[in-house]
Amino acid sequence: RGEGQIKVGESLTIPVELDNTETQNGIYAILIIDSNEKVIAKILDPFDNEIESQSIEEEDFEGQFKITKSGIYKLVIENPNEKEIKISVVIGPEPDAGKKSLGFISLYVLIIGLIGMAIVPIYAIKNRKRSFS
């Protein structure tokens, strides 16, 4: 994770250790703060070979890349603009499907619980009215 200001013609490099035995995919996210300027994002593998390059003009962007070898991958953000920009970036392994599904399961349980909390009082009120009749 990194954030800061990138001056004109300079770059910001964020290194991260990634293991291809844990996951085959990596993700990165870029948030350009208070600006609509474009940046250039590059992903470098452990041998400093460029494996992905994107010209980003959106305020926030998320991209993916393949983790082919274990080692230190780098996200390099370049500022080709005429003015300094504020930026926040994150790079790391993509969460596996099991962890994603656990998040959805807990959401479903919460929703079912809320529905149950709404239905039980209605049922209790209807039964009380029947017993008074």
Domain boundaries in the chain?
2-94, 95-133
Q: What per-residue confidence (pLDDT) applies to 42? A: 94
Q: How many CB atoms lie within 10 A of CB 44?
A: 18
Task: Tell me what pLDDT residue 113 has.
Answer: 74
Provide the pLDDT for residue 95.
Answer: 73
The pTM (predicted TM-score) of the whole model is 0.68
The secondary structure of the chain, three-state, reads CEEEEECCCCEEEEEEEECCCCCCEEEEEEEEECCCCCEEEEEECCCCCEEEEEEECCCEEEEEEECCCCEEEEEEEECCCCCCEEEEEEEEECCCHHHHHHHHHHHHHHHHHHHHHHHHHHHHHHHHHHHHC
- Note the pLDDT of residue 125: 81
State residue 47's pLDDT score. 93
In this structure, the number of other CB atoms found within 10 A of the CB of residue 73 comes to 24
CB 105 within 8 A of CB 57: no
CATH topology (fold) of 2-94: Jelly Rolls (2.60.120)
Looking at residue 103, its pLDDT comes to 62
* Average pLDDT, 10 consecutive residues per value, the chain (133 residues): 80 90 88 83 93 89 91 92 86 70 68 77 77 62
